Amino acid sequence: METEYYRIYKTVFYRRIFFISVFAVVCFILAVVDLMVGPISACFCSVLINLMYPQNETLHVVIWDYRLPWTLMALLVGGALGLAGLEMQTILNNPLASPYTLGISAGAGFGAAVAYVFGLNVLPVPLEFTVPVNAFFFAFLTCMLIMFIGKIRGFTSETLVLGGIAIAFLFHSMLALLEYFASEETLQAIVFWMFGSLTKSTLPKAQIVFAVLALTSAALMSRSWKITALRLGDEKAKSLGINVERMRIEVLIYISLLTSVAVCFVGIIAFIGLVAPHMARILLGEDQRFLIPGSILCGAIVLSAGAIASKVIVPGAIFPVGIITSMIGVPFFLLLVVRGRKHIW
């Protein structure tokens, strides 16, 4: 008797642990490859040695100042976007949702543009951080606006989605207005920022993203059952003793933090937040205990692969990573959708 019910559960359980381990291994391999790839050739050993001790000074600089921040940033931002996308899909109960659904990207873009056009900071910070801080501030402001709408009208997914779309349009038009009056160089800077690029990565930035990702994923993991319950519909969730509206607000705050911090350092990288959760869900099911790490790892995989491709496509140049993530992500995603025997949602 005991063996029987354990068997049922454990087959499912270990299959999921297995998939997560596979994701983690792929992630690790991609990270190592990412560290090895670049115009200055470096084998695995020399990468490892130069990570520890400065042997060849140029290689040391290359690895510590360029490759490592990029690699870490790709993993962390990918993970943050994957997680934010997962939770956005969960709380909105909508498979089409992504971290940018509620207009966070538009808000962030507007914030960055304000920094570029007026040179204004909303907070007194060093110049290097002017744009990220502004982007973060406006991204977060967008979320607060949506909260405000939710507060008035109730935190249903319809309210949030419609409110988000409206706010996204508002920020888009304000961004367009700023671009209209921007000088040539400023316009270029805004356009480049919006493209999404890992070239702005530094170790301190990676540390900030890491801190946010660690804290939010811990907080979400501790609520994993309650979040899973949201997928059963509002009334069922309520009958399970969950304060659905408060849960949505909480999760929305985590999403805002994750997305804002990701978007403010690397610009807008679309698609990962939509696809990574689906990849994870198809292989791991709805259980948030597995889905949370799974989505983080899937996001990290997609962005790392994109980061490698962005260096390899034209060696010596950096192809915008946002374009690549879509180009490699879409076929893979479609394969899962078309070939997969299970449902996606």
Partner 1 sequence: MVTVRVEDVSFCYDRKKVLDRINFTAEQGEITAVIGPNGAGKSTLLKTIAKIVQPDSGEIFFDEKRLSRMRKEDVSRIVSYLPQDNVIPGILTVFEVVMLGRIPYLNWRIGEEDLKITVKVMKELGIDNYAKRYANKLSGGERQVVLVAQALVREPEVLLLDEPVSNLDIRNKLEILELIRKITKEKKMTTILVLHDLNLAAMYADKVIILSGGRVYARGKPYEVLSEDVLSSVYGIEAEIRRNGEKIQVIPLRPVKCDGKRQF
Partner 2 sequence: MRKSLLFFCLIALLLCGCAQVKNVAENKTKTITVTDILGRTVTIKTPVKRVVLLYGLEDYAAVGGKDSLSKLVGINAWRYKMYRPDWWQAWIEYYPRIKKLPDVGQPGKTFQVEEVIKLKPDVVIADRSMYKYMTEDVKRLEKAGIPVVFTDYFPHTNNVTELFNEVNRSAMILGKILNREERAKEVVKFFEDHVIEIVNKTKGIRSKPKVIVFATWSKWDAYGKKSMYNFWIDLAGGDNVAAKVIPGFSGDINPEFVLKANPDVLVFTCNNNFPSGQKVVIGYTVNNSSSAKEALKELINRPGWNKLNAVKDRRVYIIHHGLSHGHLFEFVCLEYMAKWLHPALFRNLEPKKDLQTFYSKFMPMPLHGVWAVRLGGS
The nearer residue to partner 2, 3 or 41, going by C-beta atoms, is 41
203 binds partner 1 (CB under 8 A): no
With beta carbons less than 8 A apart as the criterion, state whether 262 and 77 touch.
Answer: yes
Nearer to partner 2, 186 or 224 (CB): 186
Tokens 């983690």 belong to which residue?
Answer: 24
Buried b (16+ CB within 10 A) or exposed e, 169-184: ebbbebbeebbeebee
Q: Are 247 and 226 in contact (CB under 8 A)?
A: yes
Q: Least CB distance from residue 173 to partner 2, whole Å?
A: 16
222 near partner 1, judged by CB under 8 A: yes
Helices 157-180 and 184-195: angle between axes, nearest 10 degrees: 150
Instruction: Provide the phi-psi class of 38: left if phi over 0, else alpha when psi is between -120 and 50, else beta.
Output: left
User: How far apart are the C-alpha atoms of 299 and 81, rounded to whole Å?
Assistant: 6
Answer yes or no: are the C-beta atoms of 99 and 303 closer than 8 Å.
no
Selection from partner 1, partner 2, none that 233 binds (CB < 5 to 8 A by kind) is partner 1
Closest CA to 79 of 309, 335, 280: 280
Among 311, 322, 323, 324, binds partner 2 (CB under 8 A): 311
Ranges within 211-250 binding partner 2 (CB under 8 A):
none
Please state the closest distance from residue 265 (CB atom) to partner 2, in A: 13
Q: Given candidates 72, 115, 258, 292, which one binds partner 2 under the rule CB under 8 A?
A: 115
Stretch near partner 1 under the rule CB under 8 A, chosen from 19-27, 219-227, 258-266, 310-318: 219-227
Choose from partner 1, partner 2, none: what does 96 bind? Cβ within 5-8 Å by kind: none
Q: Which of residues 263-292 bind partner 1 (CB under 8 A)?
A: 281-282, 285-287, 289
Residue among 9, 118, 169, 332 that touches partner 1 (CB under 8 A): 9
Q: Name the 3-class secondary structure at 122.
A: coil
- Residue where the block lists tokens 């490759």: 67
Q: How far apart are CA 303 and CA 322, in angstroms?
A: 9
- The only residue of 30, 76, 106, 189 in contact with partner 2, by rule CB under 8 A: 189
199, 219, 231, 253: residue in contact with partner 2 (rule CB under 8 A): 199
86 vs 100: CA distance, rounded Å:
12
- Using rule CB under 8 A, residue 243 touches partner 1: yes
Residue pair 223/253 in contact (Cβ under 8 Å)? The answer is: no
Using the rule CB under 8 A, give the single segment among 16-24, 38-46, 71-79, 337-345 that binds partner 2: 38-46
Footprint on this chain of partner 1 (rule: CB under 8 A)? 2, 4-6, 8-9, 11-12, 93, 221-222, 224-226, 228-229, 231-233, 235-236, 238-243, 281-282, 285-287, 289, 342-345
